[in-house]
Amino acid sequence: MKVKCIAIDDEPLALEQMVRYIEKTPFLELIGTFSSALKAMEGDALEQTAVIYLDINMPDLSGMDFSKHITKDKKIIFTTAYEQYALEGFKVDALDYLLKPFDYDEFLKASLKAKHHFELVSKSASAPSDDFMFVKSEYQSVRINYADVLYIESMKDYIKIFLQNQPKPVITLMTIKLMEEKLPAHDFMRVHRSFIVRLDAINEVDGTIISMRDNVIPVGETYRKKFGKYLSK
């Protein structure tokens, strides 16, 4: 599959190098190049593109600010000379970041992530999605099978997804409310403002404490009536 892309950088030499790398990569299709984020907003190139190679430090409108104005179906690969921007890139859901100066091998690795991401999106769109979902974690699209989920814990804007046979949880930028809406209601229940549990993974209930396979989870006062009805059935 061809991945359509644009490159935005106010440094002419950096932009020229990016064009060479893109043209060298068979699965990339260059839609346009721009010397500023504001110019990229003109015309229809931005609308057509899937991946944006984006410099962070630019006058008028920085790459970080620009990223907040684009739709979530488009993925950003930041290019920057400052390593500290990696965390900020994660917060705005960037696919990856390239630390200047970078070589073609580094560029290719980041671009392959984009190709892989859109292949997964394409497969997900054409296949039944009632038993799994994809989440973004550490610059990767991770498939989460609902049958493997034990429970979910909220950490403000992030959630931890605890899975069977996996010691470490998957951490993704998502609210627990949105996760609750995505999960099949007949298998999962929110029992606390910070927890959703898989109902058939509950070991036992002692008052307002749920014992899971590797943890104990409190039942919040707001959710006790609904959870009590489930238990009575």
Q: What is the spatial distance between Cα 176 and Cα 143, in angstroms, rounded to a whole number?
A: 18
Same domain, 67 and 153: no
Q: What are 40-64's pLDDT values in tens digits?
A: 988 888 888 999 999 988 888 888 8
- Are residue 41 and residue 71 in the same domain, yes or no? yes
Q: List the domain range (segments joined by +) for residue 150.
A: 132-232
Q: What is the pLDDT of residue 88?
A: 58
pLDDT score, position 188? 93
Residues 120 and 143 both lie in one domain: no
Q: pTM of this prediction?
A: 0.56
Q: What is the DSSP string of 99-165?
A: ESS--HHHHHHHHHHHHHHHHHHHHHHHS--SSEEEEEETTEEEEEEGGGEEEEEEETTEEEEEETT
Residues 32 and 64 in one domain: yes
Q: The CATH number of the domain where 87 resides is what?
A: 3.40.50.2300
Total domains in the chain come to: 2
- Round the average pLDDT of the chain to a whole number and report it: 87
Q: Do 137 and 190 have their domain in common?
A: yes
Out of 103, 126, 149, pick the residue that ends a domain. 126
Q: What is the pLDDT of residues 132-176, one digit of tens each?
A: 888 888 778 888 999 999 999 998 789 999 998 888 999 998 889
- Is residue 91 predicted with pLDDT exceeding 60? no
Q: Is 47 left (phi over 0), alpha (psi -120 to 50) or beta?
A: alpha
* Residue % of the chain over a pLDDT of 70: 92
Residue where a domain terminates, one of 101, 126, 151: 126
